[in-house]
Amino acid sequence: VSRARSARGRGDELREELLDAAEELLAEHDDERQVTIRAIVERVGVTPPSLYRHFRDKRDVIEQVVARRFLALGAATMAAAEGPAARGEAAEALRAGCLAYLEWARENPGGYAVLFRVRRDTELGLPEGSSGSVAFDGLREGIEACQEAGQARSADPHLLAAVVWTSLHGLATLTVLRAEFPWPDLEVMVDTLLHGVVGTPLP
Amino acid sequence: VSRARSARGRGDELREELLDAAEELLAEHDDERQVTIRAIVERVGVTPPSLYRHFRDKRDVIEQVVARRFLALGAATMAAAEGPAARGEAAEALRAGCLAYLEWARENPGGYAVLFRVRRDTELGLPEGSSGSVAFDGLREGIEACQEAGQARSADPHLLAAVVWTSLHGLATLTVLRAEFPWPDLEVMVDTLLHGVVGTPLP
DNA sequence: ACCTGAACACCGTTCAAGT
DNA sequence: ACCTGAACACCGTTCAAGT
C-alpha cells in the first residue's frame, strides 16, 4: 500500500490515522502482541520510521489508545446511568452503570484487558481524567446518591466505591478469561454485590 | 555458559531445569515479555532447539509454569485457613484465606498476573485441579462452613463464592496495577466484602 | 518538514547435522 | 536419544539520505 505525501504542518493527520489503525488492530486481534508497529504503519500506508516522529516508542502508542478507550468506557457507563438518575432512581442508576461497565468489557475483551495491562511506572504519562478516575468518581457519586435517597447503608462512599470497582474489574476480567467456568448469571452477581456491599434494595 | 551433556533417559532433568529457570525469570522480571526462550535456555546452559524437545512452543512453557504457581497459590490460602478452621472459627478461616490470597498476589505481582493472562483457548491444556478450581472449591467450602456455623447468610454458596472470587481477583490486580490510587486499607476492604456479600460478622 | 531505504540487534522456531 | 550450528522470518528501533 502506498500513500500520498503529506504537506508541511499536516503531521497531526498521520498521528490520528496511526492511532485509528492501532485501535482497529487491537479490536480485531484481541491480543496486544499482534498489534505490531509494522502492522500499524502498513495499514496506514507508511513506513515504520514515520511513526517515531509522532510517538516515542510502541508503549507510547498503546498508552494513547488506552487513554481514548478509557474515555469511551466512562462515557458508556455514564450514558447508561443517566436515564434512571434523571428520574431519581438512584439504585437503578447505579445498577445500570455497573451492568454497562461489564457489557462494555465483554464487547471489548482485548481492549478492556489492555486498559489495565499498562505498567505502573508509565501510567503517569496518561492525561488527567483518563486513568479511570472519571469512571470512579461517577461510581462514588452514584453511591452517594443512593445514600441520600436512603437506598444504601451509610458507610464511607470512597470505601464502598473502591470495593465495588475492584469487584466489577474482577468480574469483567475473570468471566472473559475463564469463559468455561460455570458462572452464575451476571446480573445476579451484580445484584448480590450491590445489595451486599452498598446495601441497595434487590430489584 | 556451557553444560555437561546429558545421558540417555535423563531428558526429564533438563525439562525441570528449564521450568525452574522460566519461573525464576518470571519472578525477577515481572513481565512476561522479558521471559524469552533464549534467556531461559541460556540460564540453563543449553541452546534454544533443546527446549523444543520438551515443550511445544513458548506458550506451552508459560502454561506449565502457570500450573505450578496455581498449586502454590492454592496451598498458601489453604495453609492460612487451616488453623482457624481446625479451631472451628469458620468466619476467621475464610477471612484468613482471603487475606493470604491477596498477600500472595502482592508478593508475586508479575507471577499472579501471568496466571490469568493465558488465553482462553489454550487453558484446556492445564492439568486438572490446577486451573484455579482447587482454590475455588476451598473458598466455597469455607463459605459453606460459615453457613453451617450460622456465621453467613443462607444463599447459594456457589454464587457467593463466585462473587467473592472475582472480587478478590479484582482487588489483587487493581491494587497492584494502580498503586498510586488512594486505596482504603486492604483488610477493611476484605471485611466490607465478606460482611456484605457472605454475611460474616465483622471482626 | 516529512517521509523512505537500509540496517542493527533482537526474537521464536526449524532443519540438518554431530555424538 | 540428546544436543548443537546455522538459518529463517519476524520484531522494535535508529540512521542517513531523499524530496
- Could you report the per-residue pLDDT of B26-81, keeping only the tens digit for each? 888 877 788 999 999 999 999 999 999 999 999 899 889 888 888 888 899 999 99
What integer pLDDT is reported at residue B108 of this predicted model?
Answer: 80
Q: Is the CB of A5 under 7 A from strand C?
A: yes
Which chain D positions come under 7 Å from a protein C-beta?
A: 1-7, 10-16
CB contact under 8 A, B163 and A166: no
Give yes or no for A174 touching B (CB within 8 A). Answer: yes
Q: Is the CB of B182 under 7 A from strand D?
A: no
pLDDT greater than 70 at residue B158 = yes
> What percent of chain A lies above the pLDDT cut of 90?
61
Cα–Cα distance for residue pair A185/A165, rounded to 1 Å: 19
Cα–Cα distance for residue pair A67/A160, rounded to 1 Å: 25
> What percent of chain B lies above the pLDDT cut of 70?
86
Mean of the pLDDT values across residues B165-193? Answer: 92
Which residue type does A26 have? L
Q: Identify the band that residue B181 occupies on the pLDDT scale cut at 50, 70 and 90.
A: confident
What integer pLDDT is reported at residue A4 of this predicted model?
Answer: 56
Q: Which residues of chain B lie closer than 8 angstroms to A182, CB-CB?
A: 158
pTM here is: 0.86
**DSSP H helix total and E strand total for chain B:** 9, 0
Closest CB to A192 among B159, B175, B176: B159
Lowest mean pLDDT among A25-29, B43-47, B95-99, B176-180: B176-180
What integer pLDDT is reported at residue B149 of this predicted model?
Answer: 97
Q: Is the CB of A8 under 7 A from strand C?
A: yes
CA-to-CA separations, B199 to A26, A184, A197, B95, B151, in angstroms, rounded? 41, 19, 10, 12, 7
Mean of the pLDDT values across residues B93-120? Answer: 82
Mean of the pLDDT values across residues A103-126? Answer: 65
Mean of the pLDDT values across residues B73-91? Answer: 95
What integer pLDDT is reported at residue B4 of this predicted model?
Answer: 56
CB contact under 8 A, B174 and A159: no
Q: Identify the band that residue B127 occupies on the pLDDT scale cut at 50, 70 and 90.
A: very low
What is the distance in angstroms between the Cα of B32 and the nearest Cα belonging to chain A? 11
Q: Identify the band that residue B130 occupies on the pLDDT scale cut at 50, 70 and 90.
A: very low
pLDDT greater than 90 at residue B189 = yes
